[in-house]
């Protein structure tokens, strides 16, 4: 649940345990905004985003607050490569994809790039394709996207065995019991 939805839920469902949770999540976002600076994108992520922008419409889909996303993308001059930056204020990732692409493009022409199960779910909920950035192997994943997967997507040869192989590797990389 993003902060806007959590605020609304707390407003409509008052409970003594919820107010501290809301204060905590707002404080975390504020704290991150203070110290998260000058963290550049992975080199092949930047190259991929630049190249993708010449071949397709691209948007940022995230549950991070818009202010933080816009700041980070602007800081590294990559905001110019996307048509929109959709943070948690605009809804869920599934809703972002629906609003931006559903009915405008065939499902096999919509690709969600992500590093979390929620990203995969958002793609699946929309019938879209999914390219996984494997946690712990981000550089390798972005290099693969830049050198191979993007071309397959553009050529219409991404869906099927190729995509399933990438998703299988992604799912195997996710721990059954996260350390946190």
Do both 101 and 132 map to the same domain?
yes
Do both 54 and 102 map to the same domain?
yes
* 8-22, 77-91, 100-114: least confidently modelled range: 8-22
Do both 108 and 135 map to the same domain?
yes
pLDDT digits (tens, 9 = 90+) for 99-128: 999 999 999 999 999 999 999 999 999 999
Give the pLDDT mean for 43-70.
Answer: 94
Q: Give domain status of residue 130, yes or no.
A: yes
pLDDT digits (tens, 9 = 90+) for 136-146: 999 999 999 99
Whole-number Cα distances in Å, 160 to 114, 152, 157, 165, 166: 18, 11, 8, 9, 10
Do both 48 and 121 map to the same domain?
yes
DSSP per-residue codes, 42-102: PHHHHHHHHHHHHHS--EEE-SS-HHHHHHHHHHTT-GGG-SEEE-GGG--HHHHHHHHHB
Q: How confident is the model at residue 179 (pLDDT cuts 50, 70, 90)?
A: low
Do both 50 and 30 map to the same domain?
no
Mean pLDDT in the chain? Answer: 91
Show the domain range for 14. 3-35
Q: Give domain status of residue 73, yes or no.
A: no
Do both 112 and 159 map to the same domain?
yes
Can you give the pLDDT at residue 178?
67
Q: Give domain status of residue 26, yes or no.
A: yes
**Could you give phi then psi for residue 52, rounded to 5 degrees?**
-55, -40
Q: How many domains does the chain have?
A: 2
């Amino acid at each position: 649940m993003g902060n806007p939805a959590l605020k609304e839920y707390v407003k409509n469902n008052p409970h003594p345990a919820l107010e501290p949770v809301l204060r905590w999540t707002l404080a975390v976002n504020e704290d991150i905004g203070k110290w998260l600076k000058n963290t550049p994108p992975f080199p092949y992520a930047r190259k991929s985003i630049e190249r993708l922008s010449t071949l397709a419409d691209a948007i940022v889909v995230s549950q991070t607050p818009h202010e933080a996303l816009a700041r980070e993308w602007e800081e590294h001059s990559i905001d110019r490569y996307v048509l929109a930056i959709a943070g948690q204020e605009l809804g869920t990732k599934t809703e972002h994809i629906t609003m931006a692409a559903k009915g405008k493009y065939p499902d096999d022409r919509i690709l969600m790039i992500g590093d979390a199960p929620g990203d995969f779910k958002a793609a699946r909920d929309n019938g879209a394709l999914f390219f996984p950035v494997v946690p712990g192997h981000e550089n390798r994943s972005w290099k693969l996207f830049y050198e191979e997967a993007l071309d397959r997507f553009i050529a219409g040869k991404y869906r099927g065995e190729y995509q399933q192989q990438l998703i299988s590797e992604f799912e195997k990389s996710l721990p059954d019991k996260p350390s946190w």
